[in-house]
Amino acid sequence: MVLLLAPEKAYAYPLILSLSLGDPLLGEMRRKDFSVSAVIWAGTLGVGLIWAACGYWFGTPWLLIALMGPICVASEWPRLRYIDDNATMLLIPLSVVLVLEPFLGVM
């Protein structure tokens, strides 16, 4: 769905990598009983590094690098009955990208 809806690969790749690498990082840290603040900070930094790497390789706008770390981590936390956290980790950041994309443009 991300590959179909994301306007550019500069947005799709970091969204998919944020889920595939960020979600296991958050889950394992929680499983190992790290504090909530440590999980949030490590997750934000990890996802931010993913977006920064994609900024370097694919031209992802740098403004999104600062925004998407906290947004991706926060979107993993809701416990919804009918939507898995894997879906929210893609759908919420994707909606932010779709709203902001006309103002950013891929460089």
Q: Is residue 69 part of a domain?
A: yes
Checking if the pLDDT of 66 tops 60, the result is yes
- Virtual torsion, Cα 62, 73, 75, 4, nearest 10 deg: 50
Span between the terminal Cα atoms of the chain, in Å: 23
User: Is there a domain that residue 105 lies in?
Assistant: no
For residues 9 and 58, the answer to whether their CB atoms sit within 8 Å is yes
Residue 2 lies in a domain: no
pTM of the model: 0.87
On the question of pLDDT at 107 being above 70, the answer is: no
pLDDT for 106: 58
Query: In this predicted structure, what is the pLDDT of residue 105?
Result: 64
Split into its structural domains, the chain has a count of 1
Give the position of tokens 């590959």: 3
Whether 3 is in a domain gets the answer no
Region 16-32: mean pLDDT is: 93
Please report the pLDDT score of residue 12 as a whole number.
Answer: 93
Rounded CA-CA distance 47/92 in Å is 14
Q: Does the residue 1 lie in any domain?
A: no
Q: pLDDT for 34-65, tens place per residue? A: 999 999 999 999 999 999 999 999 998 888 88
Q: What residues make up the domain containing 24? A: 9-100
Question: Does any domain span residue 106?
Answer: no
The residue to which tokens 């920064």 are assigned: 52
pLDDT at 29 over 80: yes
Determine, yes or no, domain membership for 68: yes
Q: Is residue 62 part of a domain?
A: yes
Enter the tokens of residue 90: 């893609």
